[in-house]
Amino acid sequence: MEKTGNFAFGDFDKRDGMTPGQVAEVFTNAAGTYDEVWGSRNYRDHIYIAEGVADYFQADVRDSVRILDVGAGTGMLAEQLWPRGFRQIDGLDPSTGMMTEAMKKRVYTDYYLEFMDGHTITQLDTDSYNCLVAAAAFNTGLVPCAALLEITRLVKPGGLICFGIPDARFTDVKEYINRLEPLMQQMEEDGLWQLLDKKHYDDFYDNANPGNVFRYIVRASNVDVKQYVETLCQSC
């Protein structure tokens, strides 16, 4: 598993078929060098998301905006939010190693060791946050489609959800093929959230890998999860 885990960090397809616990262990093993690796690959998804959040919230209110960073990892996105004036940031990630590295940076108020996989996170109440962000969280073995429902539950109506997805994920990740984009659209049609905008970038990492940063405004956080999960299962 150790050798496979090392490959699975850089080769996303290697995570296909792993259990959630195994995926978390991959990231724990990589935590000590995570920032260095992605820095060398000119990773920029987190920067674009931070810019999108700062564009939405006026500077004079940012220190009171409660933010949940999903797939928080070592806190690279929170490090971008902090100098823009955001102070009430919680992290959520299942990897103990990632949490250890993140908490050294003192950018999070709380850090929850949890999988964002669609189950109800009982530690977090409905409408807990004004904003939810996710960088590099949509990939093989990471955030599944059903997680969008729990993500929406946690944000107050009128709040912002901002995340980035490389274009290739919609067609290369089995979990997302013909499921993720239709779910995003269905949630909008049903009045759960409204697309504010999506902004295209050519260089999420490696000076390539184009993708979009999506910004959604939450309209209703009371989600009939069972209905959506059943719909998703029909498309499996």
Quote the pLDDT of residue 95. Answer: 97
The CATH code of the domain that includes 83 is 3.40.50.150
Quote the pLDDT of residue 234. Answer: 65
Of the candidates 115, 132, 148, which has an alpha carbon nearest to the alpha carbon of residue 69? Answer: 132
Residue 236 to residue 234: CA distance in whole angstroms: 6
Q: How many CB atoms lie within 10 A of CB 38?
A: 18
Total of domains in the chain: 1
Distance (Å) of CA 205 to CA 2, 34, 43, 93, 170: 26, 14, 4, 21, 17
Instruction: Kindly state the tokens that stand for 5.
Output: 């885990």
Quote the pLDDT of residue 7. Answer: 39
Residue with tokens 């290697």: 14
Quote the pLDDT of residue 18. Answer: 86
pTM of the shown model: 0.92
Kindly calculate the radius of gyration of the chain based on its CA atoms and give it in whole angstroms: 17
Query: What is the domain range of residue 10?
Result: 2-234
Residues of the chain with pLDDT under 50: 1-8
Quote the pLDDT of residue 235. Answer: 59
Tens-digit pLDDT profile for residues 11-46 = 566 777 788 899 999 999 999 999 999 999 999 999
